[in-house]
Every structure is written in structure tokens, then in C-alpha cells.
Structure 1
Amino acid sequence: MAGYKTKYGEAFCRDALLALDDLQDNSVDLVVTSPPFALLRKKEYGNESQEAYVNWLAQFARVVYAKLKDTGSFVVDIGGAYMPGIPSRSLYNFRVPIHFCDHLGFYLAEDFYWYNPSKLPSPIEWVNKRKIRVKDAVNNVWWFSKTPYPKSDVTKVLTPYSDRMKKLIENPEGFYTPKVRPSGHDIGGSFGKDNGGAIPPNLLQIANAESNSSYLSHCKNLKIKSHPARFPIQLPEFFIKMLTDENDLVIDIFGGSNTTGLACEQLKRRWLSFDSDQQYVAASALRFLPKESRIKDVASIYFSILDGKNIEIIDALTNKLENSPSVDRQIEELLEYLDQN
């Protein structure tokens, strides 16, 4: 089974339904993923039609439900889409939580919205050409749970206080006089207490502007295409911090470039990543390599996974990896090409 192993996790080229089936029930702390969206144009990484999407995704969610602990969570990032040929929005992304809760037993713990300020204006027809719609820059991020009380700790994702709030904490009496608001809500009491940071909203503003990561750098050096639909590491990182503890098990069932795995590695969570495309799995290993890694070592790891091997990243970087003749030949051809160009 092609893939790779790091200190905390493993990535496999495997269908997630089959891979999940091998896990024990009630053993997973968090599944966080971004499945292929139901877009109008067929993408190279595979995406279902709007009509079939809910049932397609539900088959994965049903198995996820069985594998999650009662304290576990299932976080799904889903982008919206327009209906074919007209400037009206599809409701497929909203049918997902309704179906999951009404038919699979999930609770919608909270709805989040990921605002990507760097997203390009789209769709072209309605935004750029006819200029009758604004750009679509927000994804739905549904946080599902098996019970009404999953593991969660907001204090792990507090945001820095504003300058105004810092002044209030330093001198509550001199900066603000507590009073009853027109709504009748009394905001007095411990309003000026320092809690270490502000509670974040369910609107997550994260620019998806990866440009100089080791992943992209190594892909460029190897002359291979990076995954076309990557989410920023801050997105899975937020939920991993809030919903899990160190050594908990986190899974991404649509691994792609394995941003989730890297976030887990950095946060010391055990992780598993599954993707059915062997090229994507092989390229995702490059996320775990230092940017200064020798191109020969990087190529050895990439081509070995493409060759069907399951390797240990640490061994590969310490020259303990034995390449097959076909891998050695591919490395030689790459180095020769780079020398000539």
C-alpha cells in the first residue's frame, strides 16, 4: 500500500471507505476534511454533481459516525456553487447538514464560515462578465458531533485582544462604566477581566495564499503539479486545537496535499490521511520535508511512493531508503533534465 509515515502519523493511497472500515468503532477523536465540492465544471481531482452530492458524501459520514468517539467531532469544509446556467445559488451545501442530522444521527454543533479574502472573483460569467453578482469568498464549515457535548475547549483558540480591550482590562473603571443596554442585557460584572484573549467568532478570516511553502517549492523543483484545491493550514489547525488534545487521533478522509496531517504533526496529534490518487499522496509527502532538502532525496521519496512503496520519511532523509531500479532511473532522468535546463 503506497504511502508514508512520519513521527505522528501515516498517509495512504487508499479509498477512505475501505480504510475507515478497518478502524475500530469509537476510536477516532476528530475527522476534519475538505471533500471535492459539487461544482459545475468537472475538476481533475474528481467531484460529484450537485444532485448526487449529498448521498455520495453521506456514505462517508455514515462510517465516520461509527468510528468517532462519543466525544468526537466531524468537521467538513464545503464551498457553495451556482445552479447550471443561471445566477441562482444551489442549496446542496445546506442539504448536507440537514441530511446528516435528520438521517445519520449527527448534531450540528456549530456552523462556521471561512472567509478567504484572497479568493479571485468568481464565477466569471456572473461576476466578471455580466457584473450582476459579487465574488463568492465564503465556504461553509460544518462542525458535526455524535452527542450534544463533544470535547471542545475554546480557550485553546483565543484571539489577541484589540487595543481598546487592552485599555479596558488595564483600567476598567476609568475606561468604561457598566450599564444595562437597550436590549436589557447587563454587561457589567467581570467584563474587564483578562481571560488571556478574546473568544473567536464563527467567521474565520484566513487568506488561502500559500506561495513559498516547502510543498510548493519541492513540487516546482521536481516539475510536478501541486494539488489544485488546497486549504490553508490555519483552517484545520483551528479545529484541531479546539477539539483535540495531544496524542488524540485525527483523520482526513480526503487527504489531497495533506495539510491536515502537517497541522497534526506540528501540534503533536496522531493522524491518518487517505486519498485515492497516488500522485497526490506522493506529492503530499513533500510537505514534511525541509525546504533545504537535497533534490535527490526529495525525488527518491516522491518516486518511491509512486512506485508503490510505503516509506518512513525520517529513514528517507537519512539515506536509509533503498530505491528500486525504476526509481533510480527516474531520479537520474530528472537530474539530467534539470542539468540541461
Structure 2
Amino acid sequence: MEFNFDRQPAYRTEKGAMFCGNSLELMAKMPDNSIDLVMTSPPFALLRKKEYGNEDQHEYVDWLIEFGKMVFKKLKPEGSFVLDLGGAYQKGVPTRSLYQFRVLLRFCDEIGFYLAEEFYWYNPSKLPSPIEWVNKRKIRAKDSVNTVWWFSKTEWPKADVSKVLTEYSERMKKLLKAPDEFYSPAKRPSGHDIGTGFGKDNGGAIPSNLLQISNSESNGTYLSGCKMLGIKGHPARFPAKLPEFFIKMLTEPGDIVVDIFGGSNTTGSVAENLERKWISFDLDINYVAASALRFTASKSDDEIRQIHSNILEKKMVYIEGAKSESN
């Protein structure tokens, strides 16, 4: 994986590299049709400015469209673009913004993406929000679901759902042990023909497009490293299991995974664990330096301090023997 960027990465590992810079400018230097998967969570279109830099709702869709155009050019024909977007309210009133749906329509209508499938990430540990409508006035339920759009360049992107099977339910486990006791092959009222193959053990159940994943990280290399260094972690991290699901389903070992809004580099960390090549970009050198902590599980505190300091001083770091922990 050799790309001719105009700068050294902030740090690299055996499998990938993290760059500090504008991902639009850096991606422009990558060959067209060269990436297998872009997995990212951009700053959301929130009403109040956040420390990690979000755009105003009215400008957000136009802003994100430019990234979509660039991703479309750089993806391989069978590649995918997975975009995690949180919801938002209109300013001053308890009605929802439609920005993530405008993103969906414009990505498909203007850029040429296909919607391979829509997913919904349900975070049961998400705090009640917005406070005004949920906690104070109690006129709205808490917002706990993000939309996750799976875009593709063709109607037939590379995908294998058998790589992300879920555990069978207890009832299904009993059925598999003694299928004759639970059902008989027949045509159901719905029209489905349930044959003897229904009782076959396929190693797990097909997952649904509702992904229930808590985002309640409380320990691990990243946060413990931040605490040791006395720095703040990125305030908008997604859990490792979210990119893990899509990386497993949409890529193979050796494929190239890119995160254009790298943040704390959860995507790169998961890709490293799964033997994928990866590249991440982020504008903020402080977030970039802290993200290196995800690859320092085998390092001493002094080594971690040196890695972090060198990145802040813009000395390219190779994290030799990087051990990635996806927390």
C-alpha cells in the first residue's frame, strides 16, 4: 500500500498510516478506483458548535457532498462507502432535521451512489437528548438511533453477510438439536416454503439491519493512555463493533480501508486487528497524536509519552510491533 502523498504520515504501523490534514486534499492524491471501503462518521450537523468542528445544518449537506464525490472516484468498482450520521433537531422547535435524508438523496441522485442498504445503530447507553424536549418539557422520546447509510458504486458491491453472523437464539438452538420436534416442512400462509433445510446449522443467524451496540467505553488502551498523559479523549468516538461489522462484511484481509474523518482512529485500529490495510485522516493534530494510543497496548508509559510527543512535534513515528486494542 504505497500512495504518493505530499507529506509523511503522523504515524504508521505495519498495516496502516494516520495523516494530519484535509482528507479532500489528501484523497485527491490517491489513485482512482483504489479503495475497498471508506468507513467514517463525520462531524454531525448539530445546532451548537462542538469542539471537534461541526458544520451548520444549512451548509452541512453541501459540505458533505464534496467528500462524497471524492470518495466515489477513489472507491474500487465493487467498493463501499459506509456513513454513520446522527440525527438533529431544528433550531428552537421540537421538529427533526431532515439533513441525513437529504444527504442520502443527493449522494444517489447527484453523485451516482446506490443505497446498498440502510442500517440503524441503536445505542441503548446514549444519554437522553435534547435536554429541552426530553428532560425538561418531556414532549419527545430520547434520540438513541443513528442512520448508517451503506453506499456502493454498483448494484453488486462486494459483501458477505456470512462473516457477521450473530449467535442463534435459545429457541433456534433447541430447534437445531431436534428440528422434528419443533416444525414440519410445509408451505406457510405467508407463501414461504419451509423445507427440511430450515433446520440446518449455518454457524449463526443472519444479522438484522438494526445494530444494537452500546457506546459506553470506560477503559482500554486509548482512554487509559489519555488519562496517563492528562489529555482529553475525542468527544465523538464510535464503538469498535460498528466499523468491525462493516469491515468484516465488506472487505477481506489485505483490502484497503479508509476513514476520512479519523478522530480517535477506531476504524484504523479495528482494520489493523482484522489484517486489513488502512489509512485515516484528521485535521486536528491533538486528536491524531492521541489516536496513536490505540496501538500502544504493548508499550511502557515512557514509550507512550515519547510517541505522543513526537507526533505533536511533527516527527513521523513508526509504532514498531504495534499492538492494537479496539477500545
**TM > 0.5:** yes
Task: Determine the structure 2 residue equivalent to 1:327.
Answer: none
Alignment of 1:312 with 2:318, yes or no, is: yes
Q: Which one-letter code corresponds to 1:48 in the other structure?
A: E
Match of 2:60 in 1: 53
**Cα deviation digits, residues 18-74 of structure 1 (max 9, x gap):** 110111001100000000000011001110111111110110110110100011000
Correspondent of 1:44 among 42, 51, 64: 51
Cα 1:162–1:315 change in 2 (3 A) is: closer
One-letter identity of the residue aligned with 2:201:
D
Deviations 1:180-236 (A, max 9, x none): 333232233411111111000000000001111110001001000100000000000
- Give the drift of 1:315: 7.8
Is the CA contact 2:85–2:100 (under 8 Å) kept in the aligned structure 1?
A: yes
> Helix, strand or coil: the match of 2:258?
strand
Q: Secondary structure at the match of 1:210?
A: coil
Match of 2:236 in 1: 229
Cα distance in structure 2, aligned partners of 1:77 and 1:26:
22
1:115 pairs with one of 111, 122, 128: 122
Question: In 2, Cα distance between the equivalents of 1:163 and 1:128?
Answer: 37
Secondary structure of 1:127's partner? helix
Q: Deviations over 1:231-285 (max 9, x none)?
A: 0000000000000000000000000000000000000000000001000000000
- The corresponding residue for 2:202 is 195
Matches within 5 A, 1:93-242: 93-242=100-249
Q: Is the 8 A contact 1:159 1:197 kept in 2?
A: yes
Structure 1 residues 181, 122: CA separation in 2 closer, same or farther (over 3 Å shift)?
same
- Size of the aligned set, in residue pairs, is 316
The residue number in structure 1 matching 2:3 is none
Letter in 2 for 1:170: K
2:76 counterpart letter in structure 1: K
What amino acid is aligned across from residue 307 of structure 2 in structure 1? I
SS at match of 2:58: helix
Which residue pairs with 1:302 in the alignment? 308
CA apart distance, 1:2: 5.4
The two structures have a TM-score, normalised by structure 2, of 0.94
Kindly report the root-mean-square deviation, in angstroms, between the aligned alpha carbons of the 2 structures.
1.3
For structure 2, which runs of at least 5 residues remain unmatched after alignment?
1-7
Conservation of the 8 A alpha-carbon contact between 2:45 and 2:56: yes
Quote the sequence identity (%): 64
Cα distance in 2 for partners of 1:92, 1:181 equals 41
Kept in 2, the 8 Å contact 1:2–1:305? The answer is no
Q: How does 1:235-250 map to 2 (within 5 A)?
A: 235-250=242-257
* AA aligned opposite 1:155: S
Which segments of 5 or more consecutive residues in structure 1 lack a partner in the other structure? 318-341
Report the residue type matching 1:268 in the other structure: E
Contact 1:261 1:271 in 2 (8 A): yes
CA distance in structure 2 between the partners assigned to 1:49 and 1:316 by the alignment:
38
2:253 partner letter:
E
Match of 2:281, SS?
strand
Question: What's the offset of the Cα at 1:172?
Answer: 1.2
Name the amino acid aligned to 1:174. Answer: E
DSSP-derived class of the 2:92 partner? coil
In structure 2, what is the Cα distance between the partners aligned to 1:69 and 1:129?
48
Bigger shift: residues 221-230 or 171-180: 171-180
What is the rounded CA distance, in whole Å, between the counterparts of 1:187 and 1:114 in structure 2? Answer: 31
Q: Distance in 2 between matches of 1:38 and 1:252?
A: 18
CA–CA separation in structure 2 for the residues paired with 1:68 and 1:268: 19
1:27 aligns with 2:34: yes
Aligned-pair CA distance for 1:293: 3.1
> How far did 1:162 drift?
1.0
Distance 1:249 1:255 in 2: 15
1:155 is paired with a residue whose SS is helix
Q: Deviations over 1:95-149 (max 9, x none)?
A: 1110000000000000000000000100000000001111100000000000000
Structure number with bigger Rg: 1
